[in-house]
Amino acid sequence: MLKMKDILDEKDARLRLISKDVSFPLDNKDKKAINDMIEYLTKSQIEEIAEKENLRPGMGMAAIQLGINKRYFVVVHEVTEEDDEEQKFDTYVIINPEIISHSEEEICADAGEGCLSVNREVDGIVPRHARITVEGYDLEGNLIKYRVREDLAIAFQHEYDHLNGILFIDKIDKKNPFKDQDKMRGI
């Protein structure tokens, strides 16, 4: 099981690397890393488990955050309906992703974005596309395509940026952290 200490901190220069394409079949190290990421992200969103195991909540993680310089990320998105008794999640694993289209409309997370590699509060907004289409490969090397919107689109763009050595804090205007907030829809 991954622990917080396994996730690279923002000061680690490896987070600034541009990740390299993955070749198939996946090796066992990558399969294990993906399973570990899914387990961590799922458990971190279940309050009782997160508290007990001292996990910071997270929705997504890129391989580079574990020091693995390869182009893949995992997003675990809660889809629980209000009347459901137990939490349910959709899990996305995307290898060698490419954003092939995006909306003109921009959105931002009202509460700001967070990151498992940035262990501090950061004020400011990060402009993101409201809808994107991502193409990539699944664990077996089959071509996959996702059209995502709203908070899922924000998560995908956040993780995709990691693969290019970009942290969300890089996208916040240093002089005016809430610049152009009135020009985008908050979610």
What residues are annotated to the active site?
159
DSSP codes of every residue in 81-140: -TT-SS--EEEEEEEEEEEEEE-S-EEE-TT---BTTB-S---S---EESEEEEEEE-TT
Local structure of 158: helix, strand or coil = helix
Tell me the HSE value of 54 on the side-chain side, using a 13 A CA sphere. Answer: 3
Helix, strand or coil, per DSSP, at residue 144: strand
Burial class (CB in 10 A: 0-12, 13-18, 19+), 41: buried
Nearest to 94 by CA among 22, 41, 29: 22
CA-based end-to-end distance of the chain? 32
